Structure 1
Amino acid sequence: MNDTRDKNRISREDFDIEVPDTAHQISSDSWFQVAFVLTTGINNAYVLGYSGTIMVPLGWIGGVVGLTLATAISLYANILVAKLHEFGGKRHIRYRDLAGFIYGRKAYCLTWGLQYVNLFMINCGFIILAGSALKAVYVLFRDDHAMKLPDFIAIAGLFCAVFAIGIPHLSALGIWLVVSTILSLIFIVVAIVLSIKDGVKTHSRDYEIQGSSLSKLFTITAAAANLFFVFNTGMLPEIQATVREPVVKNMMKALYFQFTAGVLPMFVVTFIGYWAYGSSTSTYLLNNVNGPIWLKALANISAFLQSVICLHIFASPVYEYMDTKFGIKGNTLALKNLLFRIMARGGYIAISTLLSALLPFLGDFMSFTGAVSTIPLTFILANHMYYKAKNNKLNSMQKLWHWLNVVFFSLMAVAAAIAALRLITVDSKNFHVFADL
């Protein structure tokens, strides 16, 4: 008993953190399945907003260069974290476990707090997206305004809760990843085809960045945070925990797939959407496109269903924490386990849904999440953890490089947070709570 406990304990001079065994599956998935988990995380319904939330405030040069740089920097940061997965002679299956092992208890708690906020905000965004897609379908067939966005957000939240109750852990997604990929291709291809059709018919488009000089400064800064939100990796160790041995080698394969073939659909729909509609591009591209009602309905329904699946990926660390803490193991259909998932996961989704309906400002969610949690977790922490862990093996130039990254992204996080708060303040004045956007 003591031996088992010792194996699950991190010890340093100034802290003592007990790391529990997980109730979820470990080392069960192929690198290809993990690659599709990562790719699903990129090509979700959020891609329908990047033309409006990234390209419109940044323009052609800023958008193309920014998105390209964000891709390269995000891949680099992912690689740093992936290489630390087996640091110190043990696997770190949670982001907070890795931070705690390197820094201590305070970093363990801070990382868990940042990660929780990050995932919670992302999940709220998925619920808003799912609700917006349902509303778009409703408006296609009925324009009586009898049902409003908060109503559809509530329906979306119910679907997300049912799915969360039925899928016990991340590895259990299995065939649902194939379904998610098909759904993603449907709404991305429809958006691309209809955007090209509209763009060919339109002879003149305005690509000017709108607003006063001060307004442009804030929107450009917030859009920079959105760039890094695209490649959110605030739960990479949790995803890497599911991959089979050799863990680091297989994770590298998954990452290279994600950042090559995986990013292409997102790039194409983002650039074509902006090309077609210019500065008038909506934060939900399917609101811009013109075409057959049945085709637009199909795309929106696909976006809705895919958001339900994708939310489960980003909520899985929270579910794993609850299941592990309360010892929920064994048969997933056992009455005790089923009732626990209904209460715990249902409650988590209910709170997320309430906040989503209360403040359904999708662009603001992306900017604020990118500033306060995505940038610190993905770039600041990743670079400094690697510097700390590999300090003796790095030359002076490499050390300087990692410190420059830490300082740069710290400044960016502060600036982006200020810009995002300004956007939220402005939107709060323009729209009431439970707004029908």
Structure 2
Amino acid sequence: MDATSEVYSGSRKLHEEETAEIPETAHQISTDSWFQVGFVLTTGINSAYVLGYSGNVMIPLGWIGGVIGLILATAISLYANALIAKLHEYGGVRHIRYRDLAGFIYGKKAYSLTWGLQYVNLFMINTGFIILAGQALKAAYVLFKDDHAMKLPHFIAISGVVCAIFAIGIPHLSALRIWLGFSTVFSLIYIVIAFVLSLQDGLEAPARSYDIPGTKISRIFTTIGAAASLVFAFNTGMLPEIQATVRKPVVENMMKALYFQFTAGVVPLYAVCFVGYWAYGNKTSSYLLNNVNGPIWVKAMANIAAFLQTVIALHVCLFLFFLSTPDFLLLENLISCSYCCL
């Protein structure tokens, strides 16, 4: 009897999933494996932002606060993302956007508020990616020609153009595919180089201070900033949009992707963050590659890899940033019609 009930329950669940209503969208729905989605999520958390956590998280919080904060942020983020993932199919509808889910449960006001907050969040993330790419490009440039002829704004502008060109060439999130492989390679390059050179510097350097710098007032603000970085580190702010691309069964496959992200995916982040802080103490830069010592060509390769990976990582957010705008579907249809008329 129990076995029969389980079979019936499983069949009913499968039927509900297959008949779930899907809103009109520019997404590629149910096309990606959980492994590809896991790599999309891992690409986000192991972007070049990881090179800043030693300085932006560990210095304001210290060893105890930083380690506990990162572990808690990991656990809480996994729990929160799992809850959102399990609500993807709710009430016979697949909620492929944060605002759709909020509106379905809480009403129109929650829909509008969530849309606005997500729009601001993704805008700030994308802006940060472009600035970070410019910083990496400048760091590579000054290794060979430190003449101050080109300033950071010049490199940010170049990065913005490169990101725009790349975004035009990739029509939707599912089309990243092979680029996720490149992203992984680029991430490994700058993470391994940063880790190895920091470890080498740490073994050779004299004793360094791990005291939290600043006045009481400044520590309050830096602690708030560090807490914000912890929240950002493991959360994309667009989980339903990413989950929309995963193949059925969407909830089970998304959970696999999340487990991949929060196990294998967080190891590089932890490694770079802790070793960087251990090696340089409270003198750690907000961009770790500015601290490391080593062959110029090795540091140049790390910076260029950070730049290229940032371009790919930004595209994940950039596509979903435009997707979160109400007129994106209309815009895509107009573009499609234009191509048809050519």
1:172 partnered with 2:175: yes
Q: Structure 1 169/212 Cα, relative in aligned 2: closer, same or farther at 3 Å?
A: same
Aligned to 1:234: 237
Instruction: Report if the CA contact (8 A) 1:51-1:285 is conserved.
Output: yes
1:134 partnered with 2:137: yes
Aligned to 1:248: 251
Instruction: Report if the CA contact (8 A) 1:52-1:284 is conserved.
Output: yes
Q: Give the letter aligned to residue 240 of structure 1.
A: Q
Q: Deviations over 1:318-369 (max 9, x none)?
A: 33345413343896993779xxxxxxxxxxxxxxxxxxxxxxxxxxxxxxxx
Q: How many pairs are equivalent?
A: 322
1:325 partnered with 2:330: yes
Aligned to 2:309: 306
Aligned to 1:294: 297
Q: Give the letter aligned to residue 195 of structure 2.
A: I
TM-score (norm 2): 0.90
What is the correspondence of 1:101-250 to structure 2 with a 5 Å cutoff?
101-250=104-253
- C-alpha distance in 2 between matches for 1:271 and 1:161: 34
TM-score (norm 1): 0.71
- DSSP-derived class of the 2:94 partner: coil
Q: Alpha-carbon deviation of 1:291?
A: 0.4
Instruction: Report if the CA contact (8 A) 1:78-1:233 is conserved.
Output: no
Instruction: Report if the CA contact (8 A) 2:27-2:245 is conserved.
Output: no
Q: Give the letter aligned to residue 185 of structure 1.
A: L
RMSD, aligned CA:
2.0
Q: Alpha-carbon deviation of 1:216?
A: 1.4
Q: Structure 1 335/212 Cα, relative in aligned 2: closer, same or farther at 3 Å?
A: farther
Deviates more, 1:20-29 or 1:119-128: 20-29
Which 5+ residue runs of structure 2 have no aligned equivalent? 1-18
What is the correspondence of 1:359-374 to structure 2 with a 5 Å cutoff?
none
Q: Deviations over 1:261-310 (max 9, x none)?
A: 00000000000000000000000000000000000000000000000000
- DSSP-derived class of the 1:58 partner: helix
Deviates more, 1:214-223 or 1:288-297: 214-223
- C-alpha distance in 2 between matches for 1:152 and 1:197: 30
Q: Alpha-carbon deviation of 1:195?
A: 0.3
Q: Deviations over 1:60-84 (max 9, x none)?
A: 0000010000000000000110010
The sequence identity of aligned pairs, in percent, is 70
Q: Give the letter aligned to residue 30 of structure 2.
A: S
Aligned to 1:334: 339
- C-alpha distance in 2 between matches for 1:191 and 1:24: 36
Instruction: Report if the CA contact (8 A) 1:29-1:244 is conserved.
Output: yes
Instruction: Report if the CA contact (8 A) 1:274-1:281 is conserved.
Output: yes
Extract structure 1 runs of 4+ deviating beyond 3 A.
Answer: 329-333
Q: Deviations over 1:111-155 (max 9, x none)?
A: 011001000000111001100001001100001100000000000
Which 5+ residue runs of structure 1 have no aligned equivalent? 1-6, 10-18, 338-437
Instruction: Report if the CA contact (8 A) 1:8-1:21 is conserved.
Output: no
- C-alpha distance in 1 between matches for 2:106 and 2:220: 36
